[in-house]
Structure 1
Amino acid sequence: MSGKIALIERGICEFGTKAYYAQNAGAIAVIICSHTDENIGMDGGVDGSKVRIPAYYITKKECDRIRFYVENGLVVTIKKPENNLAVPDSLDGDFDNGVIAHEYGHGVSNRLTGGPSTASCLGNAEQMGEGWSDFMTLIMSAVPSRKGPDVRGIGNYVVGAKVDGTGIRRKPYSTDMSVNNFTYKNIDAEVHNLGEIWTLALWDLYWALADKYGYDPDFKNKNAGNNICIQLVMDGMKLQPCFPGFIDGRNAILKADEVNNGGVNQCLIWDVFARRGFGYTAKQGSSDMVGDETEDFESAPLCINQLKMNKKADFIVKAGQPINYELTLRNLRRDVANTIRVVDEIPAGCSYVNGSASLSPSTVSATEIVWEIPSMASLEQMVIKYQVSRLHPALQTHCG
């Protein structure tokens, strides 16, 4: 029996006892053949906890097929391909620990989302189940010698690729945007194509926190940045609603940081998500639909912590009509901004239309218009509108 797979009749003994005795006799695995074609569960019984080898149950119909070959001298060989041989098109995913971690991750995300009373909250179109599972693969196979920008594929063994291969996703995972530049707009209805965008954001967060707090492969070190991220992701699943979308997931991780860490990582988290298009004003639309999302790459206002100004003008200008300009000034600092000086250039060939500004300018010259603003409160927004007109054709060089 040593080194062999044991084929055992079902009989009346407990499954665990049969497997345990076969294990003690040297078997490397057990297949228990039923006398019926009924599919049943395998209860380990009193000896089940002692079994350390794989044990499988198959129906009579399936077993009869195997028994025919066994009685005619069946030999099963499992061989690792040699380096100098061409690998097959695909290899058994059971031998890829990344695949195992991925599938195990589905059990985690399904059980954590929506609370302990349900395991059916991830059936909607924008749910990120495949994303969490790929993240599980990445964190379970992370090693100190490899960093965020390094290429990380999923299922590389299955397709016979090297460690730094692309794997079975559209692009490999990396915090380097030149390697994987996917953002929120790149999701589609295929669950893996959708999930990989969520994984990218989580992988970015993993390394951003590791850069801030340090990296430790020991999961028990709760102060290491990579482990802080893992805890945030796990707790985010607990906090998000049933049938979540990407923005729900983002908000849940932000909430988890408030609960776990007093919110000290809020701006880091916002910056990471904004980089992949899940910024402050991003919208997921319906979490049961893919394609109605809106990207945004701006962090939360107070995380930007600066004054920002946007300028826009009429898209179409009619001959003889003035050109309308609009300046939007936002104080995204955490405190009051004092003594603000706004300078806007007047295009060549144009002149300011006197009295057209919604806020009277401090000075106006042939080339610029200036406003002096005493102060703006934190998060205050101000809009200034004004007009310019074309100079006389004989004097005009360019305007617009």
Structure 2
Amino acid sequence: MGSPRRHSTSRSLGGKAVDRVTASIQDSAGTNNADFSTPPDGQSGHMRRYLFTSSNPNRDGALENDVPAHENTQTAWVETAGGMGESWSDAMADWTEKTSAAVPDDVMGQYIINSPAGIRTHPYSTSSTVNPLTYASVGTLNKVHNIGEVWANLLHNVYAALIGQWGWSPDSRTNPDGTVGNIVYMRLFIDSLPLQPCNPNFLTACNAWLQADVNRYNGTNRCLLWKTFASKGLGVNAANNADIPSDC
């Protein structure tokens, strides 16, 4: 099925035209996966969602919102940045699942594999017992999804911190100018993406979040962000430490 999304018809406004996203469901090219191809601007991206075969009957990857939400956030990433791409996508899917001010653990892909454990190694959680991943964990990981879990869990904790500071609203998808935590989070999420360099890593992604907060909120959330990053080993100078700026 198609999912039309057109960019500006004028290059001066930021992109080439007629490059709507296309999508297919129960795609026969594979099983137990989903993917998103991202060609250059002006060419359509394409999402494929496959059947998952760990249960009988097979389960459709289009029927669990985690899957299309994740794939819709995909862009072109490589190496450690490949892990970053997977993590941003998981974090977006996590955000779409929130229906109240509560920040429960988030488990990806429970339906598609018919398992409460889901498709990641840990739930995304504010508990370091439930999810012990930190920046130091990246050095032991070599698969993009596993690397991605580290940053996605950190963003889960950023979300929780912003909800704790500014509260939650059910109109976050229709009121982008709101000042509550779930709206602030998504504003910073989107704003930080283009502030990263090509092939970003954890450090440049952190810097992008901090700069996004300066740009939109005059640095109001600076210390909150630093404390959350540092709690997962991305402190000042990011030497796997929990150091925060002296004025925080």
Same fold by TM-score greater than 0.5: yes
Q: Is the Cα contact below 8 Å between 1:142 and 1:217 reproduced in 2?
A: no
How far the C-alpha of 1:126 sits from its partner, in A, is 3.7
Q: Which residue of 2 aligns with 1:171?
A: 122
Q: Which residue of 2 aligns with 1:373?
A: none
How far the C-alpha of 1:301 sits from its partner, in A, is 2.2
Please say if 1:212 is aligned against 2:157. no
Deviations 1:123-161 (A, max 9, x none): 23344000000011111111116x22x221001101113
Please say if 1:260 is aligned against 2:216. yes
Q: Which residue of 2 aligns with 1:200?
A: 153
Q: Which residue of 2 aligns with 1:272?
A: 228
Q: Is the Cα contact below 8 Å between 1:131 and 1:196 reproduced in 2?
A: yes
Kindly report the root-mean-square deviation, in angstroms, between the aligned alpha carbons of the 2 structures: 2.6
Task: Summarize the Cα distance change of 1:259–1:158 in structure 2 as closer, same or farther, 3 Å threshold.
Answer: same
How far the C-alpha of 1:238 sits from its partner, in A, is 1.0
> CA–CA distance in 2 between the matches of 1:198 and 1:264?
22
Match of 1:239 among 192, 195, 198: 195
Higher strand share: 1
Q: Is the Cα contact below 8 Å between 2:80 and 2:147 reproduced in 1?
A: no
Q: Which residue of 1 aligns with 2:108?
A: 154
RCO greater where, 1 or 2, for CA within 8 Å and sep 6 or more?
A: 2
Task: Summarize the Cα distance change of 1:237–1:55 in structure 2 as closer, same or farther, 3 Å threshold.
Answer: closer
Alignment of 1:272-291 (within 5 A): 272-282=228-238
Alignment of 1:66-215 (within 5 A): 88=56, 91-106=59-74, 110=75, 120=76, 122-127=77-82, 128-144=84-100, 147-148=102-103, 150-161=104-115, 165-187=116-138, 188-215=141-168
Identity fraction in percent: 34
Q: Is the Cα contact below 8 Å between 1:171 and 1:180 reproduced in 2?
A: yes
Please say if 1:249 is aligned against 2:214. no
Aligned AA for 2:135?
A: Y
> CA–CA distance in 2 between the matches of 1:204 and 1:269?
10
Task: Summarize the Cα distance change of 1:89–1:276 in structure 2 as closer, same or farther, 3 Å threshold.
Answer: farther
> CA–CA distance in 2 between the matches of 1:90 and 1:138?
24
How far the C-alpha of 1:218 sits from its partner, in A, is 1.4
How far the C-alpha of 1:87 sits from its partner, in A, is 5.1
Deviations 1:241-285 (A, max 9, x none): 111100000000000000000001100000000011111121xxx
> CA–CA distance in 2 between the matches of 1:160 and 1:262?
45
> CA–CA distance in 2 between the matches of 1:135 and 1:174?
12
Q: Which residue of 2 aligns with 1:20?
A: none
Deviations 1:60-111 (A, max 9, x none): xxxxxxxxxxxxxxxxxxxxxxxxxx954962212111111001110xxx2x
> CA–CA distance in 2 between the matches of 1:57 and 1:167?
22
Q: Is the Cα contact below 8 Å between 1:88 and 1:160 reproduced in 2?
A: no
Unaligned runs of 5+ in 2: 3-17, 19-23, 29-53
Q: Is the Cα contact below 8 Å between 1:274 and 1:280 reproduced in 2?
A: yes
Q: Is the Cα contact below 8 Å between 1:89 and 1:160 reproduced in 2?
A: no
Task: Summarize the Cα distance change of 1:216–1:57 in structure 2 as closer, same or farther, 3 Å threshold.
Answer: closer
Deviations 1:141-199 (A, max 9, x none): 11116x22x221001101113xxx33110101111112112101222220000111111
Aligned AA for 2:209?
A: I
> CA–CA distance in 1 between the matches of 2:227 and 2:199?
25
Aligned AA for 1:144?
A: S
Q: What number of residue pairs does the alignment pair up? A: 196
> CA–CA distance in 1 between the matches of 2:60 and 2:229?
35
Q: Which residue of 1 aligns with 2:47?
A: none
Q: Is the Cα contact below 8 Å between 2:25 and 2:61 reproduced in 1?
A: no
Higher helix share: 2
> CA–CA distance in 1 between the matches of 2:146 and 2:245?
27
Aligned AA for 2:85?
A: G
- Give TM-score scaled by structure 2 length: 0.72
Q: Once structures 1 and 2 are overlaid, which stretch shifts more, 130-139 or 176-185?
A: 176-185
Alignment of 1:362-381 (within 5 A): none
- Give TM-score scaled by structure 1 length: 0.46
